A and B are shown apart, each in its own frame.
Chain A
Amino acid sequence: MRLLIRTVALTSLKELSRRRVALLFVFLLPLAFFVLRIEVHWQALRFLAIGVGWAIATLALFSHVASRRIDSRLAVMGASPSALFLGRQLALVTLGLITAGAYFVVAAVSLDVPRLAAVALLLATTVLIAAPLGALVSMLIPRELEGALALLAIMAMQLLADPASTAARLLPFWSTRELSSYAIEPVGVEVLHSGLLHAAVTLAVAFALAWVVSVLRIRTVKLVEPT
């Protein structure tokens, strides 16, 4: 199973790396968000993180939709549906963390951030949530256009919702907003704790749901050996 997870992750990374225009947009989208708000540092950081989350979630959506048929075929041959899911997620998280690392450097150089480690934390948690979120949307809405529009709606709500409202806490990247506040504003450690708790719960729920739905979607019928 370890060999299969590693091979699926490596081949997924190769597939993604060849979609150069898509990758370009993955890098440019957060940058566009960031540059548009560069004058207001806390907003620039927040938009940057949401941009990274949106880009990685969309990449995950397209990756999982594109691999559905070939994963079904591999499952017929005996591949573990869990290994296929974990391998693809590993590739997406790796790519997401590389993107996050690049934008951490951009934020560190361009912004006046009192708590720089919190920026790394918020970018990393955003990526970790975005990869299974995109996968989950791809399984519930298994068409690229419709799925991308669903993610767009989620991200738009995320940017527009009042963070103090209960509804905002139900959105997947509420933690990103909390952690960006902790990074820039003079707030107490309780903001860090609430952000991390939200991130952990959201990550666990998104990952578990995406995993279960993925296994249900591509698992094969158990057939007995002929007698």
Chain B
Amino acid sequence: MTDSWTRSLAGHLIDCGVEPAEAQNMAADAAAEAEIAGTAPESLYGPALAYAATLARAARPVDGDPLDRATGRVLLRLDGVSKRYRRRWVLRDVSLTLRGGEVAAVVGANGSGKSTLLSICAGATRATRGVVQRTRRVGFAPQQHGVSAWLTANEHFELFGAVEGMNRSRATTVGTGLARQLGWNPRPRQIADQLSGGTQQKLNVVLSELHRPDLILLDEPYQGFDQESYVDFWDQVYAWRDAGAAVLVVTHLLHDLQRIDHVLELSPVDDA
């Protein structure tokens, strides 16, 4: 049983792009740790396929190439995108190609243009220069003001669902299900203004994925999350990715970066 799980893990690691020798070592280490713990590796780590994906991400260098994994068609393409507000450039020559089944992180200091870039990808802001191509079906969670203070979660689901022609019952069912995946059970009569900051952000995230978009744009969506919610959020991001969606996340938490396919680091533009 242990040997079969270990062989399976090594095979899946190789499928994920890990060198065969390293994959064998990693699988053997995992089996040894399970033996020390006195339990079967499957009980300790779960299915070999899922654990292989986690191990492969952890093994990849931060600045390495995207994981060798099946990806879909291009859903977002930025080529030489720049943005100027009056005389000040806030973005210069940003390029990125994001396919279905990939996650990209936009990182950078305050004022480096992260939110502006996301707004350009959403289509809410026009780039001054460069080419932006994007799939039509997009979900967008802005950093602030993404929800209405006076509406309940169900009313938000109804409103956002109506954009895609979802009736009230379906929108509420889908929204509630997605909220539960983030560890939140919305109360029917509680308006957004009465939710904690972290729970408002969960609502913000759920609204971005309510209509099952091909591309999800998230602007630092986990502000106010506790540790458990933060882990749930990233699990959700990888669930979207595994379902074929492309995800672009603005983040400043560096330890996220080893789990993602592309890192786009922005720096404040020097006009001088």
The 8 Å CB contact of B123, one of A18, A66, A76, is A76
Given A18-B191, A76-B140, A226-B73: A220 and B124 within 8 A (CB)? Answer: yes
Neighbouring A residues of B146 by C-beta, 8 Å: 69-70, 73
Shortest distance between the CB of B219 and any CB in chain A (Å): 11
A8 vs B137: C-alpha distance in the bound complex, in angstroms?
21
Count chain A CB atoms within 10 A of each CB in B122, B146, B147, B164 and give the residue with the most.
Answer: B122
Neighbouring B residues of A74 by C-beta, 8 Å: 159-160, 163
Are A4 and B135 interface neighbours, CB within 8 A?
no
Give residues of chain B (155-211) contacting chain A, Cβ–Cβ below 8 Å.
155, 158-160, 162-165, 167-168, 191, 207, 211
Are A73 and B123 interface neighbours, CB within 8 A?
no
Closest to A227 in B: B133
Shortest distance between the CB of A68 and any CB in chain B (Å): 9
B7: interface (CB < 8 Å): no
Are A73 and B140 interface neighbours, CB within 8 A?
yes
Neighbouring B residues of A73 by C-beta, 8 Å: 140, 142, 146, 207
Shortest distance between the CB of A117 and any CB in chain B (Å): 37
A11: interface (CB < 8 Å): yes
Are B162 and A8 interface neighbours, CB within 8 A?
yes
Are A15 and B124 interface neighbours, CB within 8 A?
no
Neighbouring B residues of A227 by C-beta, 8 Å: 74, 133
A101 vs B211: C-alpha distance in the bound complex, in angstroms?
40
Are B151 and A14 interface neighbours, CB within 8 A?
yes
Give residues of chain A (197-227) contacting chain B, Cβ–Cβ below 8 Å.
220-227
A3: interface (CB < 8 Å): yes
A79: interface (CB < 8 Å): yes
A225 vs B123: C-alpha distance in the bound complex, in angstroms?
12
A225 vs B133: C-alpha distance in the bound complex, in angstroms?
5
Ordered by A's residue number, 20 sampled pairs between the chains whose C-beta atoms are within 8 Å are: A3-B162, A11-B159, A14-B151, A18-B150, A69-B142, A69-B145, A70-B145, A70-B148, A72-B124, A76-B123, A77-B163, A78-B136, A220-B123, A220-B124, A223-B133, A223-B134, A225-B134, A225-B136, A226-B75, A226-B76
Chain B residues in the interface with A (C-beta under 8 A): 73-77, 122-126, 132-140, 142, 144-148, 150-151, 155, 158-160, 162-165, 167-168, 191, 207, 211, 213
